[in-house]
Amino acid sequence: MKTHLVKFSLMLLVFSGLSLVSCNKDNDSFNDATVDAYAEEVVFRTQESTNLGRFGCYELVFPVTLSFPDGSNAEVNSYEEMKDALKTWRLDNKNVRTRPVIAFPYDVVNEDGEVITVENEADQRELRIACGKNFFGNNGPKGHNDRPKLCFKPVFPFSVSLPDGKIITLNSSEDRKVLHEAVKAYMKENPGKRIRPEFVYPITVALEDGTLVTLNSKEELKTLLESCK
């Protein structure tokens, strides 16, 4: 009787162990899927906020800084890096409902090669309305990971010109502060005028697959954008 009881106990222990391993695997799988879907939605909502990427009118100038609800930040250089950062953060913050956002200010480029600084949510709304396109109205977050997001991103160094003829060369993301200050100074000297610095051609841009392309004019930029739609 004792022998049978020992065997039964061993079998029960083994079964419990297997069940625990199975449950852990299911939980890991569930968490992976949940975290991936979360990152997918946040990237979608980020693009939707300003009508960015292939579905919209503007291209995001990377790198940008992600601001998380816990006060931490992460600099990302692509949408792929953005997704990875979101997944990493979400694994440690499963119950936080507030979504991470791009920290202000950040820059976008329109089809005319104008560099537009987005200072706040009001600027986001203004650009979204000015875009006049509703691509996101027909495309929800589900499956967004598999959709092309980026048409191009400028490759440092590149230069932009202000209306007064001043040329500013950006060798890295840190130089964007110089550009922002120059724009503010110009607006202070020219009240009521809102300016948008323009690319000085030629410029080199990176496509979504990493291919580098040299653009020699505004017309070539527009042609590139049309080919991405």
Would you state the pLDDT for residue 139? 64
Average pLDDT of the chain?
85
Give per-residue burial for 151-169: e unless 16+ CB within 10 Å, then b.
bbbbeeebebebeeeeebe
pTM: 0.82
Query: Which 8-state DSSP code applies to residue 58?
Result: B
CB 195 within 8 A of CB 187: yes
Q: Is the pLDDT of residue 1 over 90?
A: no
- Lowest mean per-residue pLDDT among 159-163, 180-184, 192-196: 192-196
| Average pLDDT value for residue range 28-49 | 83
| Average pLDDT value for residue range 158-181 | 95
| Average pLDDT value for residue range 195-220 | 96
Would you state the pLDDT for residue 146? 66
Could you tell me the strand order of the sheet in which 203-207 lies? 152-154, 203-207, 212-215
Runs of H (alpha helix) within the chain: 2-50, 79-92, 121-131, 176-189, 218-228
Would you state the pLDDT for residue 148? 78
Print the domain residue range for 79: 2-228
pLDDT band (50, 70, 90) for residue 22 = very low
pLDDT in tens, 121-144: 999 999 999 998 765 666 666 666
Q: Return the half-sphere exposure (C-beta side, CA atoms, 13 A cut-off) of residue 58.
A: 28
Q: Is the pLDDT of residue 14 over 60?
A: no
pLDDT band (50, 70, 90) for residue 73 = very high
Give the total number of structural domains in the chain: 1
Q: Is the pLDDT of residue 25 over 90?
A: no
Cis peptide, bond prior to residue 63, ω within 30 of zero: yes
Q: What's the CA gap between 154 and 60, in Å, rounded?
A: 9
